């Protein structure tokens, strides 16, 4: 998919992220969970890779049908990156969890 096609797709994509008291994070538009442990979760979303960092993080709900994920724990940081920026980290972590 070219950058132009992805940009057009992203313009039509709606993604909701709801953080409640830094303890519960609800994310829509999740395509895949690339890696997770109790301190970091890397999600592939419609709008790019989303990295969530914190402490005692656990996946409370994962719905393939609705593309929703609910994380619980102490959420300290959330950031988006492109797939190419996070390729090395994902590959390394992907190998560990396979």
Task: Give pLDDT, residue 7.
Answer: 47
* DSSP states along the chain: --HHHHHHHHHT----EEEETTTEEEE-SEEEEEEE-SSEEEEEETTEEEEEEEEEEEEEEEETTTTEEEEEEEEEEEEEE-TTTTHHHHHHHHHHH-
Question: What pTM was estimated for this model as a whole?
Answer: 0.72
What kind of fold does domain 3-97 have according to CATH?
Immunoglobulin-like (2.60.40)
Tens digit of each residue's pLDDT (9 = 90 or more) over 75-94: 999 999 875 554 445 555 55
């Amino acid at each position: 998919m070219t950058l132009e096609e992805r940009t057009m797709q992203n313009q039509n994509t709606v993604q909701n992220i709801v953080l409640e008291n830094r303890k519960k994070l609800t994310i829509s538009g999740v395509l895949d969970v690339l890696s997770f442990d109790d301190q970091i979760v890397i999600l592939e979303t419609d709008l790019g890779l989303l990295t969530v960092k914190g402490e005692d993080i656990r996946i409370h709900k994962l719905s393939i049908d609705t593309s929703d994920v609910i994380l619980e724990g102490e959420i300290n940081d959330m950031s988006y990156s492109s797939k190419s920026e996070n390729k090395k980290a994902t590959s390394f972590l992907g190998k560990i969890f396979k």
